[in-house]
């Protein structure tokens, strides 16, 4: 079973009908190495799907977010970006000039465990964003 079929099953398991619009939005998110805004997704699709509306992309992304299919991120104070929730916990390195986003593997597992032991807290989640200049922006 391929990635697209797995996501189709995830939607069906949550009672969400698998439509052409949902399929193409999932395809764009699967192909991306970085979180995308609704505008980004719409721009990638509008040439091939002229009847698709930006409101349809927003409505589906909000449904996906409510059903824990995608995660909405506010990375640089700009519009929300979305990424599929695939079970791989990671963080983001964000360029403050061009808004490029690089996913980073989480380095905090040991720290989280120590924090739990030291404080008695049950750690539910953590999020980290690191800001800087990408190599391209640094050189210009």
Structure tokens at 69: 């299919």
Question: How far is residue 12's CA from residue 126's CA, in Å, rounded to a whole number?
Answer: 29
Residue 134 marked as a ligand binder:
yes
Using the structure block, give the residue that is written with the tokens 């998110």.
Answer: 29
Residue 140 marked as a ligand binder:
no
Nearest to 91 by CA among 78, 79, 73: 73
Residue 92 marked as a ligand binder:
no
Q: CB-side exposure of 77: number of CA atoms within 13 Å?
A: 4
Whether residue 101 contacts residue 54, with contact meaning beta carbons closer than 8 Å, is answered with no
Q: Name the strand (E) or helix (H) holding 58.
A: helix 54-66
Q: Name the strand (E) or helix (H) holding 20.
A: helix 20-31
**Residues at the annotated binding site for Fe cation?**
89, 126
**Residues at the annotated binding site?**
89, 95, 98, 126, 134, 137
**Residues at the annotated binding site for Zn(2+)?**
95, 98, 134, 137
């Amino acid at each position: 079973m391929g990635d697209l079929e797995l996501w189709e099953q995830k939607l069906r398991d949550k009672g969400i009908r698998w439509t052409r619009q949902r399929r193409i939005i999932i395809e764009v998110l699967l192909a991306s190495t970085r979180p995308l805004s609704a505008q980004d997704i719409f721009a990638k699709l509008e040439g091939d799907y002229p009847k698709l509306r930006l409101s349809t992309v927003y409505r589906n992304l909000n449904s996906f977010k409510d059903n824990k299919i995608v995660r909405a991120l506010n990375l640089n104070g700009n519009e929300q970006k979305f990424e599929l929730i695939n079970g791989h916990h990671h963080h983001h390195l964000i360029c403050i000039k061009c808004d490029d986003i690089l996913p980073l593997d989480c380095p905090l597992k040991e720290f989280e465990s120590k924090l739990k032991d030291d404080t008695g807290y049950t750690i539910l989640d953590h999020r980290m964003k690191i800001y800087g200049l990408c190599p391209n922006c640094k050189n210009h």
